[in-house]
Amino acid sequence: MAWPQTSERGERARTDAQLLVDGTSGLRILYERHFDALFRYAAGRVGRQAAEDVVAETFVIAFSRPAAFDPSHTSALPWLVGIATNLLRSQRRAERKHLATDPYLIDLSGPPDLGLEDTISRADAAAVRGAVMRAVRRLPPSERDAFLVHALAGLDGAELGVALGVSASAAAVRLHRARTKLRTTLEPTLRRLGGGLI
């Protein structure tokens, strides 16, 4: 199928690599494809205000250097996440501050997925959030990068490697270490609160 039928303004058919060199309309479509994932990732790390700037900067850099994208990759998301991750390295303080937010004050936007109605379970949830943030904060930077790219941007395997700028196996090692550490730190808290990790 050469130039397939139009679905969603006919743009789904174009690959990320094509969109990147296809003028502003192409860039806009690329942006629509990946903004949400990138924002969730950045906002999860530094909070939504700083995330807006990080994401904008990421796209500015990406759009300025289309040749830096390897067109053999299907999705540009790992590449974009990699750029964002590099930018986030200069935001360590913002990240620490974000992870040190009082867990009782966090305003979870959207439906409270924890389904907690009474004060006790709210407090429990806040305790879990506090524990998670502490545990993530204590990870070494490279492992924190690996774990958060995996958890927040949903990247795995080779794509995780692309985002971190290392081989797939090195990325897998980092991810494994991060998960082991988090598991060790978090299990006791969760068990105490009647939950656990799968």
Partner 1 sequence: MNRHRTLETLVKETLETEPSPAEREAAWQSIIARLSDGEASDAAPNLGLVRRHPRLPHPAVVGVAVGAVVLAALALLPANQTPRGPLPTPHEPRAPLPTGSSAEAAAVLNATASSTRSALPAVGPGEYLFTRISMTLRGEGAANSVTRSWSAIDGSALIVERFASTRPCPPGRRAARCWRFDTSTTRYRASSDVGELRTEDGREMPVRPEPFSTWRAVVSGEQIVRLPAERDTLLASLRAGAGRAAAEHRKRPDPHRNLGGRDMRLLRIKLYGHDLLVVDTVTRMLVDAPLNPDQRAAMLSLLADAPDWYRPGSGAEPLQIRNLGPTKDALGRDGTAVQVGGADLVLDVDAGRLLEIRAYEHGRDAQPITLTVEAQRVVDSTTGESRRRHA
Contact (CB, 8 A) for 168 and 162: no
- Told to check if 100 binds partner 1 by CB under 8 A, we report no
Dist CA 96 CA 133 (whole Å): 9
Q: Which residue has the tokens 């492992």?
A: 143
Shortest reach from residue 12's CB to partner 1, in Å: 13
Is the sign of the CA dihedral 31, 35, 38, 39 positive or negative? positive
Shortest reach from residue 47's CB to partner 1, in Å: 8
Non-local (6+) Cβ contacts of 36 within 8 A are: none
Is the sign of the CA dihedral 142, 85, 30, 21 positive or negative? negative
Which residues in 9-38 contact partner 1 (CB under 8 A)? 9, 21-28, 31, 35-36
Q: Which of 113, 117, 118, 119 binds partner 1 (CB under 8 A)?
A: 113
Dist CA 13 CA 44 (whole Å): 31
Query: Binding segment for partner 1 among 78-86, 129-137, 164-172 (CB under 8 A)?
Result: 129-137
- Told to check if 165 binds partner 1 by CB under 8 A, we report no
Residue ranges that bind partner 1, judged by CB under 8 A: 9, 21-28, 31, 35-36, 39-40, 43-45, 47-49, 51-53, 55-57, 59-61, 63-68, 108-110, 113-114, 121, 124-125, 128-129, 132-133, 136, 147-148, 150-152, 179, 182-183, 186, 190, 193-198
